[in-house]
Amino acid sequence: MASVNKVILVGNLGRDPELRYTQSGQAVATFSIATTDRWRDKDGANQERTEWHRIVVWGKSAENCAQYLQKGRSAYVEGRLQTNDWEDREGNKRTTTEVIAQNVQFLGGRGGGGGAAGSSEPGSGSGSSSSGPTEAPPGDDVPF
């Protein structure tokens, strides 16, 4: 039976991207995007719920994201979900679900501009290295 693991998000960055390099020299950027659902409840009152999504981008796309994206800017992210289990510094088991981005397009927003000039090419952040394990800097309790 076939299966699909595809995520499409349009939201605003909650912080500036963090750019790191693995020991092998591969660029990896991480950032969070907020998406907000708005609706009226049965009493007619406006309600909203914000979800935060952890995004991981690899390669040249990671470097572009770190250079051009900033907190508050809107972005379109297309990728796949991946869950990682890891232990924090205290030895507690943790689980992180993140979007491994294969396409990031920079949209208008606080950073201004956007469109094609600030977009990465589809798939430029993917490849065999994006599905492999990541290497954490010493003393970092985040799984990459």
37-52 pLDDT, tens digit each: 999 999 999 999 999 9
| Residue 142 confidence class, pLDDT cut points 50, 70, 90 | very low
Distance CA 27, CA 124 (A): 12
Q: Please state the rounded mean pLDDT for residues 104-129.
A: 49
Higher pLDDT among residues 98 and 128, named by residue: 98
Tokens of 118: 């600030």
* Domain-located, residue 127: no
Strands 46-58 and 93-109: parallel
Q: Is 59 helix (H, G, I), strand (E, B) or coil?
A: helix
Number of structural domains found in the chain: 1
Residue 27: CATH number of its domain: 2.40.50.140
* Domain-located, residue 140: no
Q: Is 115 left (phi over 0), alpha (psi -120 to 50) or beta?
A: left
Distance CA 79, CA 77 (A): 7
* Domain-located, residue 54: yes
Please name the residue ranges forming H helices in the chain: 59-68
* Domain-located, residue 103: yes
The pLDDT of residue 104: 95
Q: Which domain holds residue 88?
A: 7-120
pLDDT at 107 over 50: yes
pTM more than 0.95: no
How many H helices and E strands in the chain?
1, 6
Q: Please state the rounded mean pLDDT for residues 84-106.
A: 94
Q: Please state the rounded mean pLDDT for residues 50-78.
A: 96
* Domain-located, residue 139: no
Q: Please state the rounded mean pLDDT for residues 106-130.
A: 45
Question: Please, what's the largest Cα pairwise distance for the chain?
Answer: 57
* Domain-located, residue 137: no
Q: Please state the rounded mean pLDDT for residues 113-131.
A: 36
Distance CA 131, CA 142 (A): 17
| Residue 109 confidence class, pLDDT cut points 50, 70, 90 | low
Distance CA 40, CA 21 (A): 45
Q: Is 115 helix (H, G, I), strand (E, B) or coil?
A: helix
| Residue 108 confidence class, pLDDT cut points 50, 70, 90 | confident
